[in-house]
Chain A
Amino acid sequence: MYEEENIEPDFLKRPKTNPFRTPDYYFESLEDRVMGNIEYQTKKENSSTRIIRLLKPALGLAASFLLVYLLVYYPINTFLLKDTAKTAVTDTTTADWLNDYSINLTSVDEDVIVNAIFSEDTTNLSETNPDEFLAYLSTGLNDVEIYSEIQN
Chain B
Amino acid sequence: MTNDQQIVDSLKDPATKELAFRHLISKYKERLYWHIRKIVLNHDDTDDVLQNTFIKIWNGLDSFRAESSLFTWLYRIATNESITFLNQRKRKNISSLTDENQYLIDNLEGDSYFDGDEWQMLLQKAVATLPDKQRLVFNMKYFDEIKYEEMSEILETSVGALKASYHHAVKKVEEFVKSHETRIEP
Q: Which residues does A use to contact B, with CB under 8 Å?
A: 1-4, 7, 9-12, 14, 16-23, 26-27, 30-31, 33-35, 37-38, 41
Contacts and interface: CB of A to CB of B under 8 A. Distances in A.
Contacts, number: 79
A20 B114 contact: yes
Nearest to B42: A20
Q: Which 6 A-B pairs have the closest CB atoms?
A: A19-B116, A2-B163, A2-B167, A19-B120, A9-B174, A34-B54
A35 B120 contact: no
A19 B166 CA distance: 22
Interface string B163-182: 11011001101100100000
- The interface residues of chain B, by DSSP majority, are classed as helix
Contacts of B18: 35
A38 B58 contact: yes
B113 A23 contact: yes
Contacts of A22: 33, 43, 113
A20 B54 CA distance: 22
Contacts of B22: 31, 35
A11 B33 CA distance: 25
Given A19-B117, A37-B51, 13 more contacts: A2-B163, A3-B163, A4-B166, A9-B174, A17-B116, A19-B116, A20-B37, A20-B114, A27-B30, A31-B22, A33-B51, A35-B18, A38-B58
A9 B18 CA distance: 47
Contacts of B50: 30
B86 interface: no
A11 B122 CA distance: 11
Given A16-B142, A19-B115, A20-B37, A11 B163 contact: no
Nearest to A30: B29
Interface in B14-36: 18, 21-22, 25-26, 29-30, 33-34
